[in-house]
Every structure is written in structure tokens, then in C-alpha cells.
Structure 1
Amino acid sequence: MELVPHFIEIAYLPSHPNYDEKSCTDYQERIKATGGTFSVVPSGTTGLAADAVWGDPGLGEMRNWQIASAALAGRLIDLASRYDVLVAYCHEPVFSFAPIHVALQAEAAGVDITTVYVSHATAFVHEMPLPNPERLMAESLPVHWAKISPTVRLGSISHYMSHHLINEYGANPDTFVPTGNGVDTADHWYRQRSPDEMRELLTRYGVPVDQDLLVTFGRGVPYKRHDMLIRATAETRGSAHPVIMSDTELPDVRKLAARARVDATFITSFDRELMASLVQWPKTRVCSLSAENEPWGLIPMEARLLARDGGALLAAADSGGFSEQVADGIDGFLHTPNSPSQLAQVIDKILGLTENERTRIRRAGAKRVLIEEAWPIKMMESLRATVPGIDAVADAASRELAEGASRGLRKDEQSPE
């Protein structure tokens, strides 16, 4: 049995502020190396519809989702004519209509297609107290169509999101297949950087390299709760220096830091090298993630893999998808959501650990990511649950990947006594 990947995205203008030519080229080269293809479908927006009453500025409004979904459905039916089975993962509202188009046309075209609608967040999660009614309708369509058509499934990125779709959208639990987010553990980004390399980059961004650091990352939106690190630092009385890295300015959090007399470093950047260096830097003690009701999140995985040989230990909110990623005290720490005092206690606990205890937790965190959360393993789990007859192939591939990760860690697991 041969698996061939095809990646289809909505078209982005090179003038779009988020367009990254280097990343696009790199990813397309990697896709080509697998024997797969990359293509785009029309987008009815420039991606700059910031004044829209409803809709995502990057994806436009519902009319654009209809255009993109219809174009995708046509592309999927054409692709399916070349294969025995096609599994299509349709992410977010921009492709929410595609499963219905495909389900209604696949039989007439004589093709075997299973579509999986994957929701990474919903209007109820991120847009309350006034949700976008068009988004609610678009998200509800594949949820209910999965009850009608056996060729439409729902992707489960976490237990939290599955329960949310069941309780708030009326999803049928039997229609879910696993589509957990994972990380590419072979990515060069996870390499260990030299102290000189990290020091130079941190210094360039104004991060003090002579103090213990507490770091947090995330988009500049309220639910990420960047303020929690400032509030918790105020309660620890300056035992370490907080660094807040977000993609947009956080004026309210800056004002909070000034009022609380907390000396903090604010960085407005998407520099992934900086993020990796902050996590791996020997004097970084804590990577704090306090988002509430995070659907899943990649940073808990990324941080533990980056810090496998030194650097930050993870402290995440016991909320949403974060709760499912951390075994408290084993491979990281959990803190009570919206409780600066409890986060401060966790920070103090981490600061008080011995080096042997830090090493044990780092290795447990890295091992968990490599064996359970590498993206090839997640992909195999999803295909095994979706495609009849692929079980044996997926099981063998998953075992091989897990064994390979274990062999890579075996030498490192000789912890100092």
C-alpha cells in the first residue's frame, strides 16, 4: 500500500503581511521530496478584510468560504480518480462546505473519498460573548452532515475539543476520528544551539543574559493570558526576570507591569530562532503557558523537545488541551487557570528543584513528545481510524517510529544519580 500526500491551500497574495516566500518555498520542496504535490484554490479576499463586520480578516467572510470549499471539492474529486481511496482533511470554516459538496458528488463521480472536518477552535471558544453567526452556521454544517453521510467524519484534535463539539454543536461521538496535532521531531529547528549563538541572539533582542528567566509565548489575544506571568512574577518578588514574546504589542500588559513594578522584557516578534534560544538558554527556568481553554496548542510539545538537554521546564494552565499534554510533576507542571498565586507557587517550586530533578523532568517531557506526539505517529493513528484495511500498515509504522525515538533517547536516559 502506498500513501501519497497532497497539500491544498487557499491562495495568498505575495503582498499579504503574513506571506513568507522562504517558508512557502521550503515547504513546497519538502512536499515534493515526499512524492506529493502542493496547489492552491481561489480565494475571494485579499486576506486584508479587517473592516468586515463578520469573518476572519485572513480568510474573509462566508462567501469566500463557499468559493474555497467548492473549488476544493472539485480538486478532491479529480484527485480521487487516481487512487483507490482518498482521505481529505478539511481545516476550519474556509473549507467547512467541502465535505458536503464531496459527499453529494462522489458517488456520481465513481470515487471513494472520506472527508474529515477538523476544527481547531470555534466561534463559541474564541468569539464569545458575541459569536459570528455565519461562522456558527458554517461550523455546524459538517458536524451535522457527519450524522447523515458515513463518508464525512469529524477530526478530534483533543478530548476538550471533542467534548465541546458534542456539547455545544450536537456532534455524534461516533463520527470522530483522531487528528491530533503533532510536531516534526526531525525538523532542524529542534537542534541544540551553542551558548554563544543563544547569547548573541538574546542580547540583540535586549534580553538580560545574567538573570534567571521566565518566558511565555503566544499571539497577542486576551485568552492567551500573558498578564498571568506579570502577576505571578509580582508575587514571587522578582526571583526571575519575565520575558513576554507575542506577535502583536500588548499595551495593557505593559501598563500592568509598570503598575506592579515588575521589570519585564516585551518582544513583538515571530522570530522562531529567538523562541528556541529562549527555551534552551541555561538560565531560562520556566516556560509559562497560561491560556484558558486552549483547544490544543503546539508550544507544550515544542518547548519540552527544545529543552531536552537544558533550559526551561514547562508550567501550563490546567485548562483545555493543555491539561491533556502534561503529567503534573512528571514531564512538566500544571497550574490553576486564572490564579497568579498558584502560578507563582509553581514557579517557586521549579526554581527550587535540584539539577537532577530538572534533568529527570526534561527527559520525561522529551520522551513523551518523541514517542506520543511526533506528527507521523499522529497521522498513522488518524489513518488507522479512517481507512479500512490500513491497520496493519499503520501499526507497523507507528511501532517503528516509536522504537526509533526510544533508541535515540536510550543513551540520554542514563540519569545522574
Structure 2
Amino acid sequence: MSRSVLYITYNGICNNTNGIGRQTKTLLSLLQNRYESILEHVGPVTFNFAFPAPTHRTLAYSQADLDWARDIIERRGGRLYRLPHDEDSSLWSPEAWRQLSESAARLCVKLTAQYDQTLAIAVDTPFAGVGREVHLLREGSRIDGLDIMQVLYSTDRIRGTRPTPGRLEWERDCIDYVNRGDHARLADIGSFMTRHLREEYRADPARFMPFRSSLDLMSDDLRPMKREDALEIARRWEVPLDRPIVLSFGRADPIKGVDLLIRSLAELREDVHLVVILVPYSYSQPLLEGYRRQISDLRIRATFVPQFTRELPKALSSLDETRVVVCSARGEPLSNVPFEVAMWAQHGGPVVVAPAHDGFVEQIADGRTGFLYEPEAENALTEAIRRSLNLSKTRIAEIREAAAEHVRRDRDILPNLITSLQYPW
């Protein structure tokens, strides 16, 4: 019996600007490093990938990323498919989502003629309509050999999210269809997100299948950096190391709460150096200038990096001079940052501080693998950072080791993906 997985994503093939991209890179890395281990457990399966055809609007397009992805996929017998859509429309709009979901649905149907069984993994809001579009293409009849897993990493109802017109209805239609259908499931990426979909969208608990958000722990990208290399990168980016570093990195979005972090450091301005690394949606984004002004007005010494870099957060997370990595998000279903920092800081580096809500609660055990603070309490973030700065070297090392062990135990993509592929589909 021939089996295939079709991974449908909008980020991580020809670019890498958010957590969706990191999950795509993680799967590709697994195929590169441990493909034979997958086959040993689940038998022959071909991995195909689909992504929106790149346009002039594609953020942070990288030909090197695209070539890397294509080489990994094709060397293992798969194909990389480009999905047609309106090149002039924003990718983050209901009209684009309909186009992309319809293109992906047509590809799903096409693959049923090539394989006996296909599992289509449709990632996040832009592809939340894949199951329904397949249903429409086949006029309501079930397609033998095709199963669809809708993977939502965030929704319009996550706290702090800026509403997008039509998004809530789009997501509700997706989940209503999954609740009714017999070939579509929802991904269980983590306990918070599954509970959120059940409570906010009335998702049927019986319609979930395991698809745990994970890392490829064998990837060179997650290995701690040698101190001399990390110091060289810090020097190249002109990051001073004469004060304890407080680090924050991620995409430039108000939901990430960088303004809250900056404000929290006013009392600690003489004690720390702030490093903020943000991936912008555009280089003229007013949000970035607002952060710069806030840093200047509060007289906080800082290094502000408004561009994507993987080497700098990895280097700083490998150095003892970096004492704290702060996730100050107003809302966060499940962040890659605590997991990645835990891997980078295994031999020396920071602890993670995050708010005690949403996915952070399942990622961090307060006082054991990092620190949680009550986001509504006055000065709570400041005190959590101060608490982390005052830790002994022994205590920091204990927390780092516990955090790394938590990731090794729960978030390795190989056993997690095997569990997904062994689930009935």
C-alpha cells in the first residue's frame, strides 16, 4: 500500500519569519536527519509539501531556503508543489485563504490517484478551509484514501490578537466542518490550544488527533554554541557584555508585548542591557519606531535589531552573560522560544521568564524550568526579571538542566510524529 503525507504550509519553505516557519523547518530537518527512523516505525511513506507560489509580496523570500527544502524533499522521493493564488492580494485575508484552500484541495484530490492513502496536514488559518473545499469539489462524497488534519496554531480568539475581518467566521466554518465530517480531524498541538478550540469554538473532543508541537533535537541548529563562537557573534552585532543581558526575540507584533518588557526595565536600567530582536512585516513598520522611542524615553541601554537573525539569539542564549530571556506576550498558544532557549542554554546561558497564561503554563514549571509571572499584577514582570538576575550560578544551572530535560522528554519531533502517523487515518 502506498502512503503519502502532504504538508501544506504558508511559511518555512522559501522564508522563515514566524513559529509556523519554525515548525516547517523542524519537519524538514527531521527528514534530513532521521528519515530512516520514521520508516522503521511507520513503514514506507512519501512526504510531499505544498506552499503558496512566491510573489513580490512574499516576506523575507530566500532562494537558499527554497533550494534546501526542495533538495531534502526530492531526495526522499517527494515533491514540492506551488499553490496558485492572486499575486497582488495579501496572504492574510479571507479571499486569499479561500484561494489557497481551494488550490490545496485540488492537489489533495490529485494525490488520491497516485497513493492509496494520503494524510493532508493543512497548517493554520490560511489553509483552514482545505477540508471543506475538498468536500465541495467532490459534491459531498467522501474520497477514499484521503484524510485531512487541520492544524491551528492560533485563532482570532486568542487574547491580544488583532481581529481580522472574516477570520473568526472562517475558523468557525472550519471547525464546524470537522465536527460534521468523517475524514477531517483537528491537531492536538498542546493542551492549551486544544482546550481553547473546545471552549471557544466548540470543537468536538473526539475529532482531535495527536500532532504535538516539537523540535528536531538532532538538528545542528539547536546545539549550544561554543563560547568563543558566541562571543564573536555578539561582538559582530555590537552587543556589549559588561552588564547582564535581558533578551527578547520574535516577530514584530503588538501581541508579543515588547512594550511591556521595555516598560518593566525602567527600574533596572542601570543593571542590565536589553537586546530586542524583531522580525518586521515591513521595514517601515511604525511599531518598530515606537519601541525605539520607548527605549530612548526610558533611557534604557539597548541593542535593537529589526531583522531576522538566527545566529544572534542562539549565540546570546549560549552565553552566561545573558541572564534572562523574556517572553512578554499578551497572548501565546504555544511559543517556540522557551523550547529553543532550553536547548541552546544547556551548557551555559539564561533562564526564561513568561506570563502565567495560555501555552506558557504547559511549557514552564514555575521555579523549576523557568519563571512565570502574573501579567495583571503591578511590577510582576520587573520582579520576575529581578528574581532571575539574583539567582546563584548553581540555581541557574539547575533550572537550565530541568528545562532541557523537559524538552528532551516531551518535544522531540521523531517520537511525536511517529505517534501522529501511527494514529488511525
Using the size of structure 1 for normalisation, the TM-score is: 0.83
Does residue 65 of structure 2 align to residue 23 of structure 1?
Answer: yes
Structure 1 partner of 2:323: 285
User: Which one of the candidate residues 362, 369, 374 is aligned to 1:331?
Assistant: 369
Q: Give, in whole Å, the separation in 2 of the partners of 1:128 and 1:247.
A: 17
Q: For residues 135 and 222 of structure 1, what CA distance do their matches in structure 2 show?
A: 18
Q: Secondary structure at the match of 2:265?
A: helix
Residue 132 of structure 2 is aligned to residue 94 of structure 1: no
329 and 91 in structure 1: CA distance in 2 versus 1, 3 angstrom threshold:
same
Instruction: Choose 319-328 or 248-257, whichever is displaced more.
Output: 248-257
Larger displacement relative to structure 2 (300-309 or 93-102) = 93-102
Tell me how far apart the structure 2 counterparts of residues 210 and 26 of structure 1 sit (CA, whole Å).
38
Question: How far did residue 126 of structure 1 move?
Answer: 6.8
1:259-270 alignment to 2 at 5 Å?
Answer: 259-270=297-308
Q: What are the Cα deviations for residues 197-231 of structure 1, in whole angstroms up to 9, with x where unaligned?
A: 22222222221122211101121211111123222
Change (3 A) 1:179 1:109: closer
Pair 68,189 (structure 1): closer, same or farther in 2 beyond 3 Å: same
Closer, same or farther: CA 91–2 of 1 in aligned 2, 3 Å = same
Aligned 8 A contact 1:199 1:209 in 2: no
| Secondary structure at 2:347 match in 1 | coil
- Give the match for residue 322 of structure 1: 360
Q: Distance in 2 between the 1:79 and 1:140 partners?
A: 27
Q: Match of 1:89, SS?
A: strand
Contact 1:195/1:281 (<8 A) preserved = yes
Residue aligning to 2:393: 355
* 2:76 counterpart of 1:44: no
> 2:355 and 2:422 mapped to 1: Cα distance?
31
Structure 1, gaps ≥5 residues long:
50-56, 388-417
For the residues of structure 1 that align with 2:46 and 2:140, how far apart are their CA atoms?
Answer: 22
Q: Distance in 1 between matches of 2:361 and 2:63?
A: 35
* Partner amino acid, structure 2, of 1:124: R
> Residue by residue, what CA displacement relative to the aligned partner does 1:241-262 show, whole Å, maximum 9, x if unpaired?
1111112362223322233232
Aligned to 2:157: 124
- Secondary structure in structure 1 of the residue aligned to 2:166: helix
Mapped contact 2:272–2:301 kept (Cα < 8 A): no
User: Larger RCO: Structure 1 or Structure 2 (Cα < 8 Å, ≥ 6 residues apart)?
Assistant: 2
Matched, 1:239 2:267: no
Please say if residues 55 and 87 of structure 2, whose CA atoms lie closer than 8 Å, have aligned partners that are also in contact.
no
Matched, 1:112 2:163: no
Distance 1:288 1:386 in 2: 39
Q: What is the match of residue 176 of structure 1?
A: 208
TM-score of the aligned structures, taking structure 2 as reference length: 0.82
| 8 Å contact from structure 1 (residues 229, 242) kept in 2 | no
Q: How big is the shift at 1:87? A: 1.3
Structure 1 residues 16-69: Cα deviation after superposition (integer angstroms, max 9, x where no partner): 3421111111122222344332211112234xx4xxxxxxx3x15333322222
> Which stretch shifts more, 303-312 or 21-30?
21-30
Letter in 2 for 1:161: M
List runs of 5+ in structure 2 lacking aligned partners.
1-42, 281-286
Query: In the alignment, what sits opposite 1:53?
Result: none
Residues 33, 356 of structure 1: alpha-carbon distance in 2 compared, 3 angstrom cutoff: farther
Q: Which amino acid aligns with 1:18?
A: A
Structure 2 Cα separation of the partners of residues 223 and 271 of structure 1: 20
2-side partners of 1:66 and 1:272: how far apart? 32
Partners of 1:96 and 1:124 in 2: how far apart? 15
The aligned counterpart of 1:225 is 257
C-alpha contact 2:53 2:83 (8 A) present in aligned 1: yes
What letter matches 1:212 in structure 2?
P
1:380 matched to which residue of 2? 418
Q: CA deviation at 1:107?
A: 8.6
Q: Percent identity?
A: 28
1:63 corresponds to: 95
Alpha-carbon separation, structure 2, partners of 1:228 and 1:80: 49
Query: Once the 2 structures are TM-superposed, how far is the Cα of residue 346 of structure 1 from its aligned partner?
Result: 2.0
**Residues 1:126 and 1:132: Cα distance change in structure 2 (over 3 Å):** farther
- Distance in structure 1 (CA, Å) of the matches to 2:223 and 2:134: 42
Map 1:249-268 onto structure 2 (within 5 A).
250-268=288-306
2 CA distance for matches of 1:228 and 1:15? 30
- Tell me the SS of whatever aligns to 2:134: helix
Match of 2:351 in 1: 313
Q: Secondary structure at the match of 1:230?
A: helix
When the two chains are superposed, the root-mean-square deviation of aligned CA atoms in Å is 2.4
Assess if the C-alpha contact under 8 Å between 2:335 and 2:360 holds in 1. yes
1:210 maps to: 242
Matches of 1:190 and 1:266 in 2, distance apart? 23
Contact 1:234 1:260 (8 Å CA) reproduced: yes
Runs ≥4 residues deviating over 4 A: 106-110, 126-129
Aligned length: 376
1:10 counterpart letter in structure 2: P
